[in-house]
Chain A
């Protein structure tokens, strides 16, 4: 009986000793936690998407708390999140303009074609490595869904050979932008405007053979635009969202229907 008691005593005694040392150590060597950073972290959406340019929400929160970062970099959180963060920091900021991702290609299967049959790994990045992709157009969407796989919000889907963003679900986290090996996904302001939905920079004649809805760089849109928002560079039109008045003249002028209304 006594041996059991001694055994219990030894274990309990050493356990107690370790517990004491640990609790004393944790008090003496406590690392002051940044309360501000923790509050900010709670206000952030916690998607860890990296759209702000930091390693994750905790990284952004730490940078915010130290005053090294501006509030409003969080695209998924939107203006409500920016407001909450600004309140914690005690600074005023303007509202964040809502943004959305857009795939700058409308080359679905009825408009364009594949130049080869592809039976490799079903990923755009893999297909890119074999002769630069499987579509006839070397700028267009390959429709293998790398963006779809990476999207944390289920906002982008491939249908009929081309990816399309669901504006209602998209939070402009830029993950798809970074993933797309052809770099044809762009973040644009979420407002009513005209947008060239083609990324092809081939000469007009080449583009016309490849795709029915490809930008041929004819400059009709540039001439039609009264606000000076459309510029054609490298045989591809670009609409400046900040100048676009959504008048629709470029959309009417476009012979290829690649400039469309966007909202």
Chain B
């Protein structure tokens, strides 16, 4: 049952609760870096990496420090602090031990330090932790959710890079050229993700 619920959480994070297209977090990199496929993939990999790592650290901090103290309201401030510090640490470690990965992630790693999608993943997952209901997120669920959110980010970025590639050669009215048509296209892609609503949710109570 645990595995089934983990799969359900993973799928939900990618499809029904896609952080970019359903929760509208991380729109800035979504519009900014999706012009080219390779930068889109590079950014997404960095985001996934940071999301999982931040959740791995912030979840225990919330559970074992903030909740016992009754200081849940500090989560926003503290999470930003922790994520920023963590990204710096990861950067130092990568530069020393895996310079090739450091070079390929390049500017994206420091860029996403305070990305709202990363903060959103770490904070929104806490709402799912409610021991009074039949199904509550554990630490494992939170990690899988973060990984799924990153993959969902990747899916959205890659899809949108394709859409933008088509827009390049399309005959667009002058008034819509550039950002306007990009936003319209983003809205349509987001609309298509509405089709997944209710697709995975049913799995979770059964788990």
A and B co-occur in one complex: yes
Complex contact A10–B69 (CB within 8 A)? yes
Bound Cα distance from A19 to B88, whole angstroms: 10
- Cβ of A6 within 8 Å of any chain B Cβ, yes or no, is yes
Bound Cα distance from A212 to B27, whole angstroms: 60
A residues 9-37 with Cβ under 8 Å of B?
A: 10-11, 14-15, 18-19, 21-22, 25-26, 29-31
Complex contact B92–A6 (CB within 8 A)? no
Complex contact A29–B92 (CB within 8 A)? yes
Complex contact B71–A7 (CB within 8 A)? yes
Stretch of B7-15, B42-50, B76-84 contacting A (4+ beta carbons < 8 Å): B76-84
Interface of A is mostly: helix
List of B residues within 8 angstroms of A6 by Cβ: 69, 71
Q: How far apart are A66's CB and chain B's nearest CB, in angstroms?
A: 15
- Cβ of B191 within 8 Å of any chain A Cβ, yes or no, is no
Complex contact B65–A10 (CB within 8 A)? yes
Complex contact B61–A14 (CB within 8 A)? yes
Known contacts: A7-B71, A10-B71, A31-B96. The answer to whether A25 contacts B89 by CB under 8 A is yes
Complex contact A22–B89 (CB within 8 A)? yes
List of A residues within 8 angstroms of B82 by Cβ: 14, 18
On chain B, the number of residues with a Cβ less than 8 Å from chain A's Cβ atoms is 20
List of B residues within 8 angstroms of A22 by Cβ: 85, 88-89, 92
Complex contact A14–B69 (CB within 8 A)? no
Complex contact A25–B81 (CB within 8 A)? no
Bound Cα distance from A26 to B91, whole angstroms: 10
Interface of B is mostly: helix
- Cβ of B177 within 8 Å of any chain A Cβ, yes or no, is no
A residues 228-259 with Cβ under 8 Å of B?
A: none
- Cβ of B188 within 8 Å of any chain A Cβ, yes or no, is no
Q: How far apart are B27's CB and chain A's nearest CB, in angstroms?
A: 28
Bound Cα distance from A11 to B77, whole angstroms: 8
- Cβ of B74 within 8 Å of any chain A Cβ, yes or no, is yes
Complex contact A14–B78 (CB within 8 A)? yes
List of A residues within 8 angstroms of B96 by Cβ: 29-31
Complex contact B81–A18 (CB within 8 A)? yes
Which residue of chain A has the shortest Cβ distance to B74 in the bound complex? Answer: A7
The interface bits of chain A over 23-58 (1 if a CB of B lies within 8 angstroms of the residue's CB, else 0) are: 001100111000000000000000000000000000
Complex contact B92–A25 (CB within 8 A)? yes
Complex contact A10–B78 (CB within 8 A)? yes
Which residue of A11, A26, A29, A30 is within 8 Å of B74 (Cβ)? Answer: A11
Bound Cα distance from A3 to B74, whole angstroms: 11
Complex contact B78–A21 (CB within 8 A)? no
- List the 3 closest pairs (A to B, CB-CB), nearest first: A18-B85, A29-B96, A25-B92
Q: List 26 A-B contacts (CB under 8 A).
A: A3-B71, A6-B71, A7-B71, A10-B69, A10-B71, A10-B74, A10-B78, A11-B81, A14-B65, A14-B78, A14-B81, A14-B82, A15-B81, A18-B81, A19-B85, A21-B85, A22-B88, A22-B89, A25-B89, A25-B92, A25-B93, A29-B92, A29-B93, A29-B95, A30-B96, A31-B95
Residues of B within 8 A of A (CB): 61, 65-66, 69-71, 74, 77-78, 81-82, 85-86, 88-89, 92-93, 95-97
Residues of A within 8 A of B (CB): 3, 6-7, 10-11, 14-15, 18-19, 21-22, 25-26, 29-31
